[in-house]
Amino acid sequence: MDIWIERFITYLRAERHYSEQTVAVYEPTLCGFAAFVNHDETENIDWSFVSRDDVREWIASQMEQHKAAATVNKQLSALRSFYKYLLMCKAVESDPTRTLKGPKKEKKLPYFVREKEMDNLFDKIAFADDYEGHRDRLILLIFYSTGIRLSELVGLNVSSVNFHSATIKVLGKRNKERIVPFGTELKEALEAYLPLREQQHQAVDNPALFLGVKVPRITKEAVSEIVKRNLSQVTTLRKRSPHVLRHTFATAMLNNGAEIEVVKQLLGHESIATTEIYTHTTFEELKKAYQQAHPRAEKE
């Protein structure tokens, strides 16, 4: 092993107290880079002669090996840390990684449930005609009708619901409040649920809209289980979480003509860039439909 890599690894362990898991990433990365720039000879590397182009070519070689962008960026981060160490030790005068950018990570499109499957959930699945049945259906309907987050749903109080204006007051991230409108179906579900809620012994002096079993307020874990159990009846998606229903709400809104700025406000996003991922989702659906339907579309 190159002497400077060996010293750097010792430095990480002894002075920076890096975990063995991290060291296990740094050591082979640096040895691999040394072999790349020195034509498979890892001894006696003159690190001051390594150029920006050498690093760029190394990055390209990693991508050609079909490594994920996240993996290559971690490797580049290890190399950056190594050159900071070399600069600190005055072993080099410049850092060839300083102005280089790693490969862009691919944006994963969000999972969402198709509208037909959501229709099946609310129109064809038989929920029990008791407190739990009405509660479970209402939880699913609130997620799909408003796009609120799991933590926001758990935090809802009975007073959060305004039947006169057909809105729900939501306490979002960083304690920012927003008002989310709802439609007739959700209004009717709330009206059917509230009398049943009042009959529960946990409801006495309890402001929570959804009651817990041993605690005043329903837990995030309980809500997640309700969502997972019921979505499994209508979709084969691997992910079946409350956040998937938030994605489903946003995708359905955009597919049915809502402006992206409106969806941004309803979701409580700080930036329009966060909301734009749903436009990618709807465009992918559009492309898929085109390729399936158009007689001259390219077939794989």
Q: Is 246 a catalytic residue?
A: yes
Residues 6+ apart with CB under 8 A from 215: none
Catalytic residue among 149, 240, 247, 264: 149
Does the annotation mark 173 as catalytic?
yes
7 catalytic residue (yes or no)? no
- Our answer to whether residue 164 is catalytic in this structure is no
Is residue 243 among the annotated active site residues? yes
Distance in angstroms (rounded) separating the CA atoms of residues 88 and 206: 60
Question: Cα–Cα distance between 24 and 9 in angstroms, integer?
Answer: 10
Q: Which secondary structure element, helix H or strand E, spans residue 181, and what is its range?
A: strand 177-181
Question: Two tokens at 161?
Answer: 């619901």
Residue among 137, 246, 247, 264 flagged as catalytic = 246
Of 16, 98, 173, 288, the active-site residue reads: 173
Determine contact, residues 212/219, Cβ cutoff 8 Å: yes
Strand 161-162 and strand 167-171: the pairing is antiparallel
Residues 204, 227: Cα–Cα separation, whole Å = 26
Q: Which residues, 6 or more positions from 243, have their beta carbon under 8 angstroms from its beta carbon?
A: 149, 150
Please name the residue that has the structure tokens 């049943």: 196
Does 201 participate in catalysis according to the annotation?
Answer: no
Say which of 26, 144, 193, 278 is annotated catalytic. 278
Which structure tokens are listed for 95? 């850092």
- Active-site positions? 149, 173, 243, 246, 269, 278
